């Protein structure tokens, strides 16, 4: 199931050690002035120079665009893996809190190649589709932004740390989202939890709401139908109410650390593992364009879906 | 989009003020000994005598079961609305933090009837499907349990309060969930956020992970492949690792309170609203079987889906 | 998979020997004046007095309609089985060309109960959903009609015969259908072949096209963009061109005949079977409203889907 | 909607005048020995030297295969368009019975670029996915073959002709297909009608069944559960019965002919069109591997889906 979305859909492929990543964006209406430099700029935010793997991430579009405008046909694209060609490390260790063990259980093979799909590298495809969604959204006055909330933790050399990201969708019309199982925030939650290393999602007051009284929490409306407060984070009963959609996403520390850790190999023998790769210290700030891309994707998809509700 | 699940699917209907709620459970394998008293017991947990609306919730199965065993055909069911027949109140107030405003924006009508789909009453259908999932799961040694985490808030008379629920899925095999967009925890998150009043989801350490170091967080495996710790909450890279899946869900205070609140009517005139119905003080404990039902639904669906991965 | 449609969706249940048939119509826009007598009239066309089972087929709508107008919520409905309550015949014969053998292979049980889903009785649910689609279509000037094409075969007493049905969708706009896998005629073909006893589908010239030259076949357009001929049957490259959509559907003889036939029982012993029920001689004319219902369903669904193509 | 299949899924892209065609095969189980020469041989059958466009069609796999074996990850692939780079002809004629008019109505643009999706060129992607399906099927003893049925029509120079193709799926187990809307033959019909120029589908006796008696038509079983006849074409009540699945597909004449035809331009002015390209005279025999590919795709998808029916 490498497809995301109902009407506006991304299907993608690519192994982190293979020749390239790529995808197909389907359901994109015809007639959009296609802004390739913007896509490239979003990709650049994701591949900020840092400690970890850093690629040029030049995207090549292969279909669905003619004379700089979308045609309504599916948009195929590829992004080369420059570092990837090197060497698929088929080591025999189960890296702690990594995908190695669960992939072995799921697919029955003990090479690391498959792990390519769980790598953060996969998120380049999300950023491309998200950038296309953002192009449409900005034509409708909708923006998606995000920031890292400060962490008070000091990170020793060779270690990693988690992060909380807060994002805001601004300019949304009221009425987006489906009442029961496809609530706007249910879709957002699934989108966020599908990002590697994500461990939590909350909207508006989120977990704080559990300790609030109804009389404190309820958002009262003004005579112009705007709201005096936004404890609900812009979504009520699963449907946008026209206020900013505000949500937060929790990420765990990147599991690959340079410090030595106990672990086992595929045969169950105890051993020691220390990552020798240069890894990022934290998913932030490189995860920001990914969070925004997924939020933009969900928003645009539900805008298209809403149109199918009427006749 | 009133359908939930990929292989094991619930589609349901019913307006809170209509004659009944009902649904169709599809994708249920044949040959399951069908335990109607168990379904009824799960429903009873949801309709605990409390301050709010209380119904007998007797479920009537209409198809898909023969001689006490599932046949593989879709299972239709209905549950009468005893209170519901009464009077669809078409009042003209926009209840604060309620569905009234967003439904008007979405559907263009200003009666409260539509609100029936956003009512907690809809969750009876989830509990029925979840009970069927639990029947299969217990045959495979999998259990789903939950509890309310204590809140320190004192609730004045006529007010309401939020809640945090923690749930555990025990006995799961490793290898469930799909790698990218249909991760086990992404599906769980969507399932939970689809429950009325839910505002947050976290798995394992969740939001606490944001302030942890990789060296503290990583779950190290024993020579027998079990884990020494379970910071990841049983899911790594979106796939179950065989440990307990542990997650928490945040609920906001029920928006209907008996205290007077400012609000507006559909024309934008300021007015005062105080609920005259007897409402629950908190979604908990009645929400527990709903949380469990959705978790069981996701789990069983991904177990069936996993089988389609092989040949 | 007891669901049909992408946006406008019918999910249905019901065993031919159970208490009722029923379904849920989802994706129905709000604001449609709901014409229950019309639904009932379409059902009456399906249950014409004949030789076979004949029921009153009174439909009861349970949700999604308020004050005679659709609300946008799912529409639940049930239709009682009056004959059905009687006795689920669990005979041990494999009826020739019937569902008995394949259901045993698929579900592993040897009772006839499951066969209820393959019974023509299931089509009452299709007629209900199709009638709702027709209500919308007629508001847009689209009609669906059908007729039985004459057969030259004389049917001896106790025997049955097949039929060819021709249907016309009139008043369609150009531009419906998706280019590659969800072509208008691909959807129609699937819809027709899903009707019990259907063995073939053709559109426009259909199988005759195989023996035509391009110079004879091609449909030339007039300066007003209308077409001089309609060999393509209103669909080109999978998309409607504004001409009438004309298609034909082949049905096999009803397999239950009163004449004695050789067959075997579930243990493989040779035996003789002759149906003692009063069965129809031919699926026509009772299948006409079913053909129309499925065609209306596909058409309305693709009209809604088309709206999601734009922004 | 450029995706085909439920579990085993092909999503593809590519404009006939763009740089390449390509696709993503998802849901392919891990552990299959991947036979690239076989894929290439199937592609060669589709690009037989003839009168029309002829390309080398070398497929390049980009992911999902490691050490010659599938990993369970999505399989990305591309095939260069050698002829295509040349010149996207943006002529202003509406070619008779072609996609030009309906694409203008659907997408609102009047260039021919979009037509690339309706071109037979798109079928290379189907052949690649179909070859992968065939690899699995042959491991389970299932084969898919096809042939052109003779046509008695003489084709004058510069003209084209239609064709009927008959295909056989041999070695299938009984029990494949879903009872109501996802019948084996309903899926096959949709798959066939999605092939460019297809105008009809029939299974077993097909349209001949309309003029047969039940006593002639019914397939009687032997004590070993095999069938004495196969009028039903291997599918009863939508589910395979273990006999050969036999079906026929009608194709219209290729609309591009070198003879002069009346037509109009996009403004509605009358004009004359004669194709100056070298086109094939008939879709057959090049369509045979496409018919087989789609049949293999449907079959393998329903085999995987069946596995999800049990627990």
Predicted confidence (pLDDT) per residue in A108-125, tens digit: 876 555 457 888 999 999
Q: What is the mean pLDDT of residues A177-183?
A: 95
- Shortest Cα distance, chain A CAs vs residue C173, angstroms: 14
Pairwise CB contact (< 8 Å): C308 & A27: yes
- Cβ-Cβ pairs closer than 8 A, B with D, add up to 42
Beta strands in B173-241 (DSSP E): 198-203, 235-236, 239-240
**With contact defined as beta carbons under 8 Å apart, do C169 and C301 qualify?**
no
Pairwise CB contact (< 8 Å): D74 & A107: no
With CA atoms as reference, the chain C residue closest to B22 would be: C76
Nearest to D24 among A2, A31, A114 (CB): A2
Q: Is C193 helix (H, G, I), strand (E, B) or coil?
A: helix
Q: What angle do CA D162, D167, D172 make, to 5 degrees?
A: 160
- Shortest Cα distance, chain B CAs vs residue A112, angstroms: 13
**What is chain C's mean pLDDT, rounded?**
92
With CA atoms as reference, the chain A residue closest to B243 would be: A102
Residues 150-169 of D with CB under 8 A from C: 151-153, 155-156, 159-164
- What pLDDT was estimated at residue C92? 78
Taking the Cβ of residue D20 and every Cβ of chain A, the question of whether any pair is shorter than 8 Å is answered with yes
Closest CA to A208 of A232, A235, A188: A232
Pairwise CB contact (< 8 Å): C309 & A29: yes
- Shortest Cα distance, chain D CAs vs residue A58, angstroms: 17
Can you tell me the distance from the alpha carbon of C187 to that of C178, in angstroms, rounded to the nearest whole number? Answer: 10
- Shortest Cα distance, chain B CAs vs residue D308, angstroms: 5
Least confidently predicted of B148-152, C289-293, C298-302? B148-152
- Shortest Cα distance, chain D CAs vs residue C24, angstroms: 15
> How far separated are the first and last CA of chain C, in Å rounded?
32
- Shortest Cα distance, chain C CAs vs residue B79, angstroms: 11
Can you tell me the distance from the alpha carbon of A247 to that of A271, in angstroms, rounded to the nearest whole number? Answer: 41
Q: What is the mean pLDDT of residues A171-197?
A: 97
Nearest to C26 among B1, B63, B66 (CB): B1
- Cβ-Cβ pairs closer than 8 A, C with D, add up to 365
- What pLDDT was estimated at residue A6? 97
Per-residue pLDDT band for D180 (boundaries 50, 70, 90) equals very high
So what's the ipTM on this one?
Answer: 0.96
Q: What is the mean pLDDT of residues A45-62?
A: 81
CA atoms within 13 A on the CB side of D235: 33
With CA atoms as reference, the chain A residue closest to D24 would be: A13
Can you tell me the distance from the alpha carbon of A67 to that of C80, in angstroms, rounded to the nearest whole number? Answer: 59
Least confidently predicted of A151-155, A193-197, D75-79, D298-302? A151-155
Per-residue pLDDT band for D16 (boundaries 50, 70, 90) equals confident
- What pLDDT was estimated at residue B311? 78
Taking the Cβ of residue B133 and every Cβ of chain D, the question of whether any pair is shorter than 8 Å is answered with no
Can you tell me the distance from the alpha carbon of C111 to that of D250, in angstroms, rounded to the nearest whole number? Answer: 39
pLDDT(C5) > 70: yes
Nearest to A24 among D11, D18, D73 (CB): D11
- pLDDT tens, B50-100? 556 667 899 999 999 999 999 999 999 999 998 754 454 556 788 898 888
**With contact defined as beta carbons under 8 Å apart, do C180 and C165 qualify?**
no
Q: What is the mean pLDDT of residues A125-131?
A: 98
Taking the Cβ of residue D242 and every Cβ of chain A, the question of whether any pair is shorter than 8 Å is answered with no
Q: What is the CATH number of the domain that holds A247?
A: 3.60.150.10
Taking the Cβ of residue C73 and every Cβ of chain A, the question of whether any pair is shorter than 8 Å is answered with yes
Nearest to D304 among B136, B303, B308 (CB): B308
Nearest to A311 among C136, C310, C311 (CB): C136
Name every chain A residue with its beta carbon within 8 A of the beta carbon of D70: none
Percent of chain B with pLDDT over 90: 79
Residue predicted with more confidence, C221 or C310: C221
Pairwise CB contact (< 8 Å): D29 & B73: no
With CA atoms as reference, the chain D residue closest to A8 would be: D1
Calculate the alpha carbon distances from A248 to A293, A299, B198, B214, D69 in Å.
Answer: 15, 16, 14, 21, 41
- Shortest Cα distance, chain B CAs vs residue D186, angstroms: 19
Q: What is the mean pLDDT of residues A226-238?
A: 97
Name every chain A residue with its beta carbon within 8 A of the beta carbon of B202: 199-202, 207, 250
Pairwise CB contact (< 8 Å): B221 & A264: yes
Interface partners of chain C (CB pairs < 8 Å, 3 or more) are A, B, D
- pLDDT tens, A249-270? 999 999 999 999 999 998 999 9
Taking the Cβ of residue C175 and every Cβ of chain A, the question of whether any pair is shorter than 8 Å is answered with no
Can you tell me the distance from the alpha carbon of A125 to that of A21, in angstroms, rounded to the nearest whole number? Answer: 7
Closest CA to C164 of B229, B156, B41, D202: D202
- What pLDDT was estimated at residue D17? 85
Least confidently predicted of A94-103, B6-15, C86-95, D88-97? C86-95
Name every chain D residue with its beta carbon within 8 A of the beta carbon of B309: 27, 29-30, 72, 304
- What pLDDT was estimated at residue A100? 86
Number of domains in chain A: 1
pLDDT(C143) > 60: yes
Pairwise CB contact (< 8 Å): D73 & A106: no
- What pLDDT was estimated at residue C150? 83
Least confidently predicted of A208-212, B7-11, B93-97? B93-97
Interface partners of chain A (CB pairs < 8 Å, 3 or more) are B, C, D
Taking the Cβ of residue C27 and every Cβ of chain A, the question of whether any pair is shorter than 8 Å is answered with yes
- pLDDT tens, D67-116? 999 999 999 999 999 875 445 455 678 889 888 899 889 988 765 555 57
**Does the CA dihedral A204-A210-A212-A218 come out positive or negative?**
positive
pLDDT(D222) > 70: yes
Radius of gyration of chain A (CA): 21
- pLDDT tens, D225-238? 999 999 999 999 99
Per-residue pLDDT band for A93 (boundaries 50, 70, 90) equals confident
- Shortest Cα distance, chain C CAs vs residue B2, angstroms: 7
- pLDDT tens, D139-155? 999 999 999 998 889 99
Nearest to B213 among A161, A208, A241 (CB): A161
Residue predicted with more confidence, A82 or C209: C209
pLDDT(B48) > 80: no
Percent of chain B with pLDDT over 70: 93
- What pLDDT was estimated at residue D111? 57
- What pLDDT was estimated at residue A52? 61
Q: What is the mean pLDDT of residues C272-301?
A: 93
Domain with D45, as residue range(s), is 3-310
- What pLDDT was estimated at residue B115? 58
pLDDT(B23) > 70: yes
Name every chain C residue with its beta carbon within 8 A of the beta carbon of B308: none
**With contact defined as beta carbons under 8 Å apart, do C55 and C83 qualify?**
yes
**With contact defined as beta carbons under 8 Å apart, do B233 and B205 qualify?**
yes
Residue predicted with more confidence, D279 or B297: B297
C69's tokens: 């107008």
Name every chain C residue with its beta carbon within 8 A of the beta carbon of D12: 180
Taking the Cβ of residue B49 and every Cβ of chain A, the question of whether any pair is shorter than 8 Å is answered with no
Residues 273-302 of B with CB under 8 A from A: none
Pairwise CB contact (< 8 Å): B113 & C71: yes
Can you tell me the distance from the alpha carbon of C94 to that of D13, in angstroms, rounded to the nearest whole number? Answer: 47
Token pair 């404190």 in the structure block, residue = A216
CA atoms within 13 A on the CB side of D295: 27
- What pLDDT was estimated at residue C232? 98
Taking the Cβ of residue C267 and every Cβ of chain D, the question of whether any pair is shorter than 8 Å is answered with no
- What pLDDT was estimated at residue B11? 98
Residue predicted with more confidence, C182 or B266: C182
Token pair 């087989």 in the structure block, residue = D292
Least confidently predicted of B183-187, D60-64, D90-94? D90-94
CA atoms within 13 A on the CB side of D220: 17
Residues 180-219 of A with CB under 8 A from B: 180-183, 185-194, 196, 198-219
- What pLDDT was estimated at residue A54? 67
Can you tell me the distance from the alpha carbon of A187 to that of A19, in angstroms, rounded to the nearest whole number? Answer: 32
Taking the Cβ of residue A87 and every Cβ of chain D, the question of whether any pair is shorter than 8 Å is answered with no
pLDDT(A291) > 80: yes
- What pLDDT was estimated at residue B143? 98
Q: What is the mean pLDDT of residues D121-129?
A: 97
With CA atoms as reference, the chain C residue closest to D108 would be: C175
pLDDT(B269) > 60: yes
Percent of chain A with pLDDT over 90: 79
């Amino acid at each position: 199931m490498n497809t995301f979305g109902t009407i506006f859909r991304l299907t993608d492929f690519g192994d982190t050690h293979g020749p390239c990543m790529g995808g197909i964006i389907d359901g994109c209406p015809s007639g959009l002035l296609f802004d390739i430099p913007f896509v490239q700029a979003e990709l650049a935010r994701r591949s900020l120079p840092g400690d970890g793997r850093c690629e040029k991430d030049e995207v090549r579009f292969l279909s669905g665009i003619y004379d700089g405008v979308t045609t309504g046909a599916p948009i195929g694209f590829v992004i080369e893996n420059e570092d990837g060609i090197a060497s698929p490390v088929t080591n025999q260790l189960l890296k702690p809190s990594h995908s190695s063990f669960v992939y072995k259980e799921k697919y029955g093979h003990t090479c690391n190649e498959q792990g390519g799909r769980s790598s953060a590298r996969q998120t380049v495809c999300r950023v491309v589709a998200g950038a296309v969604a953002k192009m449409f959204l900005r034509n409708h006055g909708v923006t998606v932004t995000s920031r890292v909330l400060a962490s008070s933790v000091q990170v020793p050399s060779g270690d990693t740390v988690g992060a909380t990201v807060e994002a805001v969708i601004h300019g949304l019309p009221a009425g987006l989202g489906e009442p029961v199982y496809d609530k706007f925030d249910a879709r957002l939650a699934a989108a966020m939890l599908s990002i590697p290393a994500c461990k939590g999602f909350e909207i508006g007051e989120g977990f704080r709401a559990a300790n609030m009284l109804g009389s404190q929490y309820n958002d009262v409306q003004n005579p112009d139908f705007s709201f005096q407060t936004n404890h609900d984070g812009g979504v009520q009963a699963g449907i946008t109410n026209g206020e900013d959609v505000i949500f937060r996403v929790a990420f765990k520390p990147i599991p690959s650390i340079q410090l030595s850790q106990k672990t086992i190999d595929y045969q169950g023998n105890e051993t020691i593992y220390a990552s020798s790769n240069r890894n990022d210290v934290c998913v932030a700030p490189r995860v920001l364009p990914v969070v925004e891309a997924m939020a933009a994707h969900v928003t645009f998809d539900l805008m298209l879906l809403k149109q199918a509700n009427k006749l």
